[in-house]
Amino acid sequence: MKFGINTFLFTSPFTNDSIALFPKFREWGFDSVEIALEEAAHIDPATVKKALDENGLTCGSICAALGPGRDLRGSEQEQNAALAYMKSVLDVMPQLGCPILIGPLYSSVGRAEAVEEADYNRQWDTVVAHLKHLSDYAGQLGLKLAIEPLNRYETDFINIGAQALRMIDDVDSDALLLHLDSYHMNIEEKDPARAILNAGAKLGHFHACGSDRGTPGGDQTNWEKISSALRQINYAGNVVIESFTKDVKVIAKAASIWRQFEPSQEDIAIKGLQFLRSRLG
């Protein structure tokens, strides 16, 4: 496994200036960077790739930013905006040497509402059609997508791994995989380790953070069972720390981070990586 850090912990939006973070990431011992890219136009991929290479890092993944206005099950305008955004990100990924686009690619984060079954099924079919198109687009570029279940407060659409696997089956593309997150699993899955085992070879990405969205290891998550499950499926992808603090205010509001539950951003990164390497490495 390779270990990465999501840039949302330190900055938003990610721009060319954000490459100043890379020497710290390498010094702390990370293998890769997960760039949270809110707009493809925010970066010059050649500049970012050069900085990654100079620091012995890779761009292991791009974290999609599906905020308001980008929604594959929303209005026609929102669907088109989401498609255009994700295709623009996919277009720059080969230049970054980045293999996978991850996140809740199906809907805008924060859209959570009760809908009738018929309406939900219509939304499902719409998302399937769009993900077929995006998977074909990604496949032509030699890239992968991985869809992430979110907790019930952030989406009403896909909350658990089993739902995401059903979506993957319906899309039926080798380019579409599953992305699991220990924080969301702690809320939604009856057995997070079982969700990993059920994913098997379909697991394309893994986010690790504490059950309070803080440092992995300083929490109630059963990391022994998660480690065992990842080993049983021979997971060889990236394990990325995706935690948040109050320091990055836009993300703190979106993720409902109202208190300082860790000493610092650096504390999450350094101690979290040490823990994950000791248990998963």
Return the number of other C-beta atoms located less than 10 Å from residue 190's C-beta.
8
Position 261 scores a pLDDT of 84
Provide the percentage of residues in the chain whose pLDDT is more than 90.
Answer: 92
End-to-end CA distance of the chain: 6
The tokens for 128 are 């399937």
Instruction: Please give the Cα distance from 135 to 121 (Å, whole number).
Output: 21
Range of the domain at 136: 2-280
Position 247 scores a pLDDT of 77
204-217 mean pLDDT: 95
Position 249 scores a pLDDT of 77
- Domains of the chain: total: 1
We report the CATH number of the domain holding residue 113 as 3.20.20.150
Distance of CA 148 to the CA centre of its chain: 7
- 262 is annotated as an active-site residue: no
Which candidate in 148, 154, 188, 262 is catalytic? 148
Residue 61, pLDDT above cutoff 90:
yes
Provide the percentage of residues in the chain whose pLDDT is more than 70.
Answer: 100
Which tens digit of pLDDT belongs to each residue from 72-111?
Answer: 999 999 999 999 999 999 999 999 999 999 999 999 999 9
Which tens digit of pLDDT belongs to each residue from 50-60?
Answer: 999 999 999 99
Position 4 scores a pLDDT of 98
Position 246 scores a pLDDT of 76
Position 161 scores a pLDDT of 98
Position 140 scores a pLDDT of 98
Residue 92 backbone dihedrals phi, psi, to 5 degrees: -90, -15
Cα–Cα distances (Å) from 138 to 66, 145, 165, 171, in that order, read 17, 7, 19, 13
Position 244 scores a pLDDT of 79
Give residue 263's pLDDT band: very low, low, confident or very high (50, 70, 90).
Answer: confident
Q: Is the dihedral of CA 214, 216, 218, 224 positive or negative?
A: positive
133-159 mean pLDDT: 98
258-277 mean pLDDT: 92
**How many alpha carbons lie under 13 Å from residue 28 in its C-beta half-sphere?**
25
- 188 is annotated as an active-site residue: no
The tokens for 247 are 């320091």
Mean pLDDT, the chain, rounded, equals 96
Q: What is the value of pTM for the model shown?
A: 0.97
Which candidate in 78, 188, 242, 262 is catalytic? 242
Position 245 scores a pLDDT of 76
Give residue 218's pLDDT band: very low, low, confident or very high (50, 70, 90).
Answer: confident
